[in-house]
Structure 1
Amino acid sequence: MTFETFHFKPFIQEALTELGFREPTEVQERLIPLIQKGKSVVGQSQTGTGKTHTFLLPLMDQIDATREEVQLVVTAPSRELATQIYQAARQIASFAKPEIRVTNFVGGTDKQRQIERLTHQQPHVVIGTPGRILDMLNEQALDIHTAQAFVVDEADMTLDMGFLSEVDQIAGRLPEKLQILVFSATIPEKLRPFLRKYLENPIIEEIKPKAILSETIDNWLISTKGRQAEQQIYQLLTVGHPYLAIVFANTKQRVDEITDFLKGKGLKVAKIHGDISPRERKRVMRQVQNMDFQYVVATDLAARGIDIEGVSHVINAELPDDLEFFIHRVGRTGRNGLPGTAITLYDPSDEQAIIALEKLGITFEPKEIKNDEIVDSYDRNRRKKREKSRVELDRTMIGLVKKKKKKIKPGYKKKIQRAVQENNRQKRKVERRQEQRSARKHKKNSSQG
């Protein structure tokens, strides 16, 4: 299946081409047709499965830009998540004619200025945190009674952060005839009353995580350990001898910094980001395809509409804010059954993002750079695993083990070892007797009943 199956308007197809999206993910394949039919849906899926575009593509496809009114409202529990959705919506809207207006309402922005803008013009798409959207409604600046669809993203996190009451109040201001989409990694019991209140016979789709990287990709994880990331990238490019490597960073500024550092080390590097004109970008891409450059440093949006053949290495200079981009980055290598290597640099603050990726079925191999070689490293969770596997000993045994650690005569060590083994044997014996007694008692009670 390709995105053309959904028969989106031309501007949506143009946006997908720029993003480099060709085939829908499982959640997109299953839910987009239902959303297109106007169904209310509860989608249970993890971060990184493509759910943002699952709702944005079909809902923005239905917006009538000639109508000067709000047609879509989306809530997310944090500024960061709301901003990610807003940026994805802006990218799609940039291809629409007439223009689709998208506004982001989050805390930490100039509230008075937003109110003034709303007095002149209402947006077509409202995206934001529940608190700020409710503020705009209470100020009677934002008018959402015309909306056709309402999306609650990360509903379980919205509940955990205490924002469900605000979402409830927002939903109360929306028209009765409304398409509601709720996306959540889990469906906690406390969320169910909200779902029952607003969704009548919704379609519930659970998309379970599965392995989503090509089997031909070696997926490595390297800790920066406070070292300069640029120096590590330089080592990876020169030690690993890639045929063609793409280094991904999150911002234009970071792309510039990495490019300048690598050029300073004598490497011939191409860079691709949003500030580079389309004409210049085409020229750079032609040079990359002609193998004039062995190294490319790029942002996600700039690189995703571009097909680069023969990428042997992908390096994540940092984890993307939207984990969906991780899958697209790594998917640049290991294509058509060819081997590829993906390397992600991380520091302890990235732990939650790595755990989220692992929940999707992505497995990392820990590596480190030692004496100009890439070698196996230890599992970052080794301490936790060791603590879990530690067998609890009773006080007598702890005393014996402590004695065993001291420098004492060999014969005495053997004696302690035998005592430890005997103690364990006696414990097992007592446990078996208890099990037998319980079984006899259960049998007796069953026969009397």
Structure 2
Amino acid sequence: MSQTFKMFNLQPFLVEAVSDLGFTVPTPVQEKMIPVIKDGKSVVGQSQTGSGKTHAFLLPIFDGIDPTNHEVQAVITTPSRELAYQIYEAAKQLTSHSSADIRVRNYVGGTDKQRQIDKLQHEQPQIVIGTPGRVLDLIQSQALDIHTAKQFVVDEADMTLDLGFLEDVDKIASRMPEKLQMMVFSATIPDKLRPFLRKYLQNPVIEEIPVKSVISPTIDNWLMSTKGRSKNDLIYKLLTLGEPYLALVFANTKSRVIEIANYLKAQGLKVAVIHGGLQSRERKRVMREVQNLDFQFVVATDLAARGIDIDGVSHVINDGIPEDLDYFIHRVGRTGRKGMSGTAITLYTPDDETQIEALEEMGIKFKPKELRNGEIIDIADRNRRQKRAGHRKVELSGSLEGQINKRKKKVKPGYKRKIQDAISKEQRMERRIKQRQAHRDMKREKKARSERYK
């Protein structure tokens, strides 16, 4: 085992557990967060998906658990069932290496609440993992007793806010002791999240874990226009062009997921479908089959982008660009993990141009591609004509054109530079106006996002 993990002074069973997982060197978020959490400080960790944050909080929590204390000691909430199951599986893997019995329980919607209440009457877990709604439900039913907990993790806080669960998290936190170690992890820190953070976190350690690039350098990131083509047919051809190990197709709505899946099934492909409309038992069954590689193709809403961690995804296809651009990063981040190569393909129409430019401003680089005669070929940058036109002629306001047209054959020194500065200033102003308008448009679209992603 690498000395870098041993330097955390974790209990031997935890070092053994991470070694069994194949972890050798801590990720940046683990390196920064584990010592701080072990020290008992509240933290706000801002890091992207796939950064290793689950073990950044699980390892120090397990390190401090007292197996002889049969009360709730830590609570972890996360906004989706899939994320809860993912954390629960990671926790169970850690407990499997412990000689002492550490009770971890997972509470999510869609499961038998009465059965959970009956079990809680006899025995409280030491670590609680679950979705905010079900955890709060069990607390209000006076079955789950969390007043003894000393640690509270709010995972994927921005998604918790987006899906309307922050109020439930607030009520859960209010039932805990005043001296509480709070750990909040989030890909972004929206303004609407800040009042919650101020309410419960006194002088937290705030760590923003920078990423070397917005998406992994192991991902081949393609951009393909669907102009004049059937999008369903293009997706089918892209999926069957090579031999993907496991391919995810993301769509913005449940109805679009069903439409794509039905088309692919009609072409003879065996396709798994994941969206918010599935019952919990059905979603668990599908996920188990996907992880067992019973399916080569999965069509899903963004529920899968943030909530499901599947090893070996070789291809991701975006049926379109999500309204919330953060979801784009989470989608693409399903492939190219753990140093493996992956291919991400984003399909777009001319209407998506503003969002593509916004992604490029975030530092995401695309390779323009086209499917022609059954082959993927490189094509020129989609903006090449506009760029050339920009060199030939710049559109100016009437006042600036008049200023230029009034020039005499003999001009004062510096006049030309003055004109150029005025042009540059006007162009900057126009860019700012466009950016502000695009930002306002995206904010308006966000209001309907919760419904669209179900």
> What TM bracket, shorter-length normalisation?
0.5 to 0.7
- The CA deviation at 1:232 is 4.8
Partner of 2:105: 103
- Distance in 2 (CA, whole Å) between partners of 1:137 and 1:361 is 44
Partner of 2:314: 315
Please tell me the residue identity of whatever aligns with 1:344: A
Q: Residues 70, 220 of structure 1: CA spacing in aligned structure 2 closer, same or farther, 3 A cutoff?
A: same
Please tell me the residue identity of whatever aligns with 2:314: I
| SS of alignment partner, residue 205 of structure 1 | strand
- Distance in 2 (CA, whole Å) between partners of 1:421 and 1:68 is 74
Residues 214-257 of structure 1, C-alpha deviations (whole Å, 9 max, x = no match): 76x461448794359797566424xxxxxxxx82468xxxxxx9
Please tell me the residue identity of whatever aligns with 1:343: T
Partner of 2:59: 57
- The CA deviation at 1:420 is 10
Q: Residues 25, 197 of structure 1: CA spacing in aligned structure 2 closer, same or farther, 3 A cutoff?
A: same
Kept in 1, the 8 Å contact 2:67–2:101? The answer is: yes
Report which of the two structures shows the higher radius of gyration computed on alpha carbons.
1
| SS of alignment partner, residue 232 of structure 2 | coil
Give the alignment of 1:13-412 within 5 angstroms.
Answer: 13-211=15-213, 217=218, 219-221=220-222, 225-227=231-233, 232=238, 235-237=241-243, 247-248=245-246, 315-316=314-315, 323=330, 326=333, 329-333=336-340, 342-344=342-344, 363-367=365-369, 369-376=371-378
| SS of alignment partner, residue 7 of structure 1 | coil
Normalised to the residue count of structure 2, the TM-score between the two structures is: 0.58
Please tell me the residue identity of whatever aligns with 2:402: Q
- The CA deviation at 1:213 is 7.0
| SS of alignment partner, residue 48 of structure 2 | coil
- Distance in 1 (CA, whole Å) between partners of 2:342 and 2:45 is 30
Please tell me the residue identity of whatever aligns with 1:107: G
- Distance in 2 (CA, whole Å) between partners of 1:167 and 1:57 is 22
- The CA deviation at 1:144 is 0.9
Percent same amino acid among aligned pairs?
50
- Distance in 2 (CA, whole Å) between partners of 1:173 and 1:421 is 61
- Distance in 2 (CA, whole Å) between partners of 1:185 and 1:98 is 34
- The CA deviation at 1:274 is 7.2
- The CA deviation at 1:37 is 1.0
- Distance in 1 (CA, whole Å) between partners of 2:165 and 2:72 is 22
Please tell me the residue identity of whatever aligns with 1:342: G
Structure 2: segments with no counterpart, 5+ residues: 249-264, 271-288, 294-307, 319-326, 407-417, 423-454
Residues 338-386 of structure 1, C-alpha deviations (whole Å, 9 max, x = no match): xxx53236778xx9xx99998986645354554343322688xx69x99
Q: Residues 94, 367 of structure 1: CA spacing in aligned structure 2 closer, same or farther, 3 A cutoff?
A: farther
Structure 1: segments with no counterpart, 5+ residues: 238-245, 251-256, 263-271, 277-298, 304-313, 334-340, 392-416, 436-449
Kept in 2, the 8 Å contact 1:146–1:174? The answer is: yes
Q: Residues 207, 121 of structure 1: CA spacing in aligned structure 2 closer, same or farther, 3 A cutoff?
A: same
Partner of 1:265: none
Q: Residues 197, 327 of structure 1: CA spacing in aligned structure 2 closer, same or farther, 3 A cutoff?
A: same
Q: Residues 218, 325 of structure 1: CA spacing in aligned structure 2 closer, same or farther, 3 A cutoff?
A: closer
Please tell me the residue identity of whatever aligns with 1:226: N
Please tell me the residue identity of whatever aligns with 1:182: V
- Distance in 2 (CA, whole Å) between partners of 1:356 and 1:48 is 22
Partner of 2:401: 425
Kept in 2, the 8 Å contact 1:221–1:345? The answer is: yes
- The CA deviation at 1:150 is 0.4
- The CA deviation at 1:59 is 1.2
Residues 94-139 of structure 1, C-alpha deviations (whole Å, 9 max, x = no match): 3333343322222222222221221222222212222221111110
| SS of alignment partner, residue 6 of structure 1 | coil
Residues 251-271 of structure 1, C-alpha deviations (whole Å, 9 max, x = no match): xxxxxx9xxx99xxxxxxxxx
Kept in 2, the 8 Å contact 1:42–1:181? The answer is: yes
Q: Residues 23, 134 of structure 1: CA spacing in aligned structure 2 closer, same or farther, 3 A cutoff?
A: same
- Distance in 2 (CA, whole Å) between partners of 1:198 and 1:12 is 29
| SS of alignment partner, residue 86 of structure 1 | helix
- The CA deviation at 1:66 is 3.5
Normalised to the residue count of structure 1, the TM-score between the two structures is: 0.59
Q: Residues 192, 344 of structure 1: CA spacing in aligned structure 2 closer, same or farther, 3 A cutoff?
A: closer
| SS of alignment partner, residue 59 of structure 2 | helix
Kept in 2, the 8 Å contact 1:213–1:331? The answer is: no
Residues 20-52 of structure 1, C-alpha deviations (whole Å, 9 max, x = no match): 322222222111110111111112233333222
- The CA deviation at 1:146 is 1.9
- Distance in 1 (CA, whole Å) between partners of 2:49 and 2:247 is 20
Q: Residues 120, 369 of structure 1: CA spacing in aligned structure 2 closer, same or farther, 3 A cutoff?
A: farther
Q: Residues 332, 195 of structure 1: CA spacing in aligned structure 2 closer, same or farther, 3 A cutoff?
A: closer
- Distance in 2 (CA, whole Å) between partners of 1:118 and 1:359 is 50
Partner of 1:403: none
- Distance in 2 (CA, whole Å) between partners of 1:170 and 1:8 is 29
- Distance in 2 (CA, whole Å) between partners of 1:322 and 1:119 is 43
- Distance in 1 (CA, whole Å) between partners of 2:332 and 2:22 is 11
Please tell me the residue identity of whatever aligns with 1:147: A
Please tell me the residue identity of whatever aligns with 1:219: D
Kept in 2, the 8 Å contact 1:75–1:129? The answer is: yes
What count of residue pairs does the alignment treat as equivalent? 335
- Distance in 1 (CA, whole Å) between partners of 2:399 and 2:27 is 56
Q: Residues 32, 357 of structure 1: CA spacing in aligned structure 2 closer, same or farther, 3 A cutoff?
A: farther
Please tell me the root mean square deviation across aligned C-alpha atoms, in Å.
4.8
Kept in 2, the 8 Å contact 1:84–1:322? The answer is: no
- Distance in 1 (CA, whole Å) between partners of 2:311 and 2:219 is 25
Residues 406-431 of structure 1, C-alpha deviations (whole Å, 9 max, x = no match): xxxxxxxxxxx9x9999972387799
